[in-house]
Structure 1
Amino acid sequence: MGLRLLFVFICIGFTAQAQFWTENASGFPLTNTGLSKIHIVDDNVAWATGYDGVNPNVNVQRFTTTSDGGATWTAGTIDVGDANLGISNISGVSATTAYVAIYPRLAGQQGGIWQTTDTGATWTRQTGAAFNSASSFANIVHYFNVNDGVAIGDPAGGFWEIYVTTNGGTNYTRMPSANIPAPLTNEVGYLAQYTHLGDHIWFTTSAGRVYHSTDKGVNWSVFQSPLSDFGGTNLSGDITFSTPNKGMIQDNSGNLFITQNAGSTWNAVNISGTGFPYGGAIAYIPNTSRIVSTGGDTTFAGTAYSRDDGITWINVSTDQHVDVAFFDEDTGYSGGFSTISTLDGVYVYTDNVLSTYDQLAIDGFSIYPNPSSEFINILSNQPVEKVEIYDINGRLLMEISNTSFINVTDLQSGIYFIQVNSDSTITTQQLIKN
C-alpha cells in the first residue's frame, strides 16, 4: 500500500510541466503530409520520410532533414527514376548523406538501396544490395556509421535477404542462410519495423518474432514475442531497446511487454496509476528507464511518457503523433501532419522531464547506474537516512542506513523499487538489476 501511495504522489508531482513538444515546420510543400520513419544521426542531424496523411495508399517519395537540432527542416523529393516505387525507410549518416530502402509496388519493378551524398538533390542505386529476385522486397536499411550498414528484406530463395556493407555501400555481401534462423512458412518482415542500439539491431515479423543481431547484421538469432503478428489488420506492435538487454514491445492497444535478455523472454508490464501509453510508436531514451509512447490513430491519439520502464505514465497531449524517436534525453522528434510548409508537421522535444537532472529535482534523488549489475549510487538533495529495496510484490528485501553506496550484487535480475528516506521525505524509484 505504501508503494502505491508513493506512485500517486509521483504522478501528481508531474502535472505542471514545461512544453513537452514544440511543433516546427517539416518543410513538406503539400498539406496533410505526414512525417514518419525518423532516423536521428546525432544531436543536430535527423532525417525522415513523408506520406499522404489523407490517403496512405497514395505513393509519396519525399524526405525532410534537419541539421540544427530540429529548428529548421528542408524537404525534398526522393527521385529514384520510377514514381511508383515505394519508400520503406531512410537512414542518414551525416547532414549530406543518407540511404533509403525502396520496395516494388507493381509487378516487374525492382527495389533496393539508394544513396544521396548531396542532401537529397540526387539519388543513386547501390547495385551491391541486389534485391533482384521475384520475391525480393527491401524493408529496412540502417547505417550504424558512415561505413557499416545493413539492408534487410523478406525471405528470397528460402532465407532472409540480408546484405551487409563495411564501406558505405560500395560493396555489399549477402549473409548466408547459416547466419540467419530460417523463416517460418509465409513469414515476412514489415516496412521500417526495426530498432537499433550501438552495434545491435532487431527487426520484427508477421509471425510475431523478433530477429536480433549483435554484430551489425552479420549473425542473427530469433525469439518469439508475446504478439502473433507485428503488422496485422487487428494486431500490430512497435519495439524499442534501452540497453542491449532491456527492451519493450507496445501493441496497438497500448499493452506493454518488457525483456531483460535481448528479447529471449518477455513479461507483461503491469501499468499502474491514471496515465497510459498509446498504441502507435514507442521509444526508449537509450540507457535509461525513461520511455515515450505516441499514438496516431484519431481515436487513440496523443503522447505519454514513463520514467520507470512503463509502470506509471504521464499523458501530455492528445495530438496525433505518427512516429517517435529519441537520440538521448535532450534530443527527440515525433511526426505530425503539415498544413502549411512554413508552419507545422514535426514535433521537437523541448522539455526536461526525461533528464536525469529533472529526476533529482522532482524526486529529490536519482540512482546511477540504472540498470546496474553490482553497485548503485544515490544522488540526493538531502542526507540519506535509510534506503529500502522492495521486489515487485512489495516485499522488503534490503534495508540500509546512512549510506548512498549500495551493493546489489546478490539481487536476482529483475525490477525492484528503491524507497529513500531523507529527513521528512520518502520517495520511490525503480531499479533494474541486470
Structure 2
Amino acid sequence: MKSFYTILFTIVFTFSGLSQGYQFGIQHNSGYNFSIVAIPDFDATDTDVSDIGFTLMLPAGDTDIINTSQFNGRPWAANQFTAAQLSGAGFGDGTRDAFVINLPPGQSIVSHTTDTPFVIFTFDISNSPTQSFMDLLPNSDPIAMGLGGALDSFFNSNIDNTNTQDYFSGIASGQGSFMFETLDVDDIELENYSIAVYPNPALDILHVSTPFKVQKLILYDILGKQIMSLKDSKSMIVEHLRSGAYFLKIETETTTITKRIIKK
C-alpha cells in the first residue's frame, strides 16, 4: 500500500509540474505602442529565465517593429521574413511579414503571481497602419510548422532550481491579435493630419509641424538603435547623418507617434 501511494504521489506531482506554464498575449498601450506579456498559471519567486522567443505577423510592406525594449537589461534580437520570402518558400499567402523576436540565452531572475501578466517586450509599430491586423503566430500554424520550429514561441526557464525547460503553454485567449482598425478615429486623425514632418526626404534639418507641444523627439536608425534625442524642440539637425531611412518618434502632450523619414 505504501508503494501505491508513493506512485500516486509521483504521478500527481509530475502532472502538476507539467501544468505550470506561461501564455503570451498582445497588450495595447496607446497609439501604436504595444507590449508582449507573459501570463503565468502559477506563483513563483526568483525563477531563472533563460531565453524567450515568439513571432509577430504584420501586414506586408513598410510596417516595422521599432523602438524595442530590453528584458531586465538584456537586448532582444529581431529578424524579419518578408511576405515574399515566405510565399516563395511555399508558406503564407504573400500578405504578411513575420518578425521573429528572440531573447538570447542568459539569466534573469523574476517573480510573478498566478494570472497576473508581466511585460517581456515593448515596441512601436511604424507607419501608422489603419487596416489589417497584428498577431502572435501560433506554433501550430502551417508557417511555423513548415519552417521546422524556427518561428516557434518558447519560454525557457528554471522554475524550481533543477533544470531549464520550455514552459510556453500557448497564446492567451482573446489576446493573440490586434486589429489596427480599432484604433480611435481621433488618434488616427491626429497622426495623419495634426502632425507633419518636413521636408521628407531631408538634407540638413527636419521640422515637426503640430499645434501640440512637442515634449521629445527621438531618432532611430532602421535597426531601432537610438541616434539622437531632443527635448522641447520642433526641429532636428540631420545634416551629419548618413543617407538612408530613419524613424522619428514624436512625443507630444497628447500622444506619441513614429514617422518614417528619409535622409538624402
The TM-score normalised by the length of structure 1 is 0.21
Larger RCO (CA within 8 A; separation ≥ 6): 2
User: Which structure's residues are more often helix, by fraction?
Assistant: 2
